[in-house]
Amino acid sequence: MINQIYHAGSLSIALGAGVPKIMAALILAFCGSVFLSTSTYSASPAAMLSGTGYVSNKDWWKLSAIIGVIFNVIWLGGGLLWTKCIGYW
């Protein structure tokens, strides 16, 4: 429920700022996949992997930082370039 409220609010702000509808909705949808890997309590698989000791907290946060940088380069660098090329903005 909170997630839906967050997305509705963010989408209305983005649309009010002039972001194209499809691009704003896609960016919000993709953020869900990026943020689910950032902490040990963000999703049920993360809690199981961390809670059982399969991955230590130190390793989890280190890998999350690395993956976060990679995701940002892909989505912000490549994704924005791609949407420009195909004419979304």
Higher model confidence: residue 17 or residue 56? 17
User: Residues 23, 82: contact at Cβ < 8 Å?
Assistant: no
Q: What is the mean pLDDT of residues 16-22?
A: 89
- Give me the pLDDT at residue 17, please: 93
Residue 55: domain span:
2-85
What is the total count of domains within the chain?
1
Residue 51: pLDDT over 50: yes
Other Cβ atoms closer than 10 A to 24: 20
Q: Which residues in 29-67 are b (16+ Cβ under 10 Å) and which e?
A: eeeeeeeebbebeeeeebeeebeeeeeeeeebeeebeee
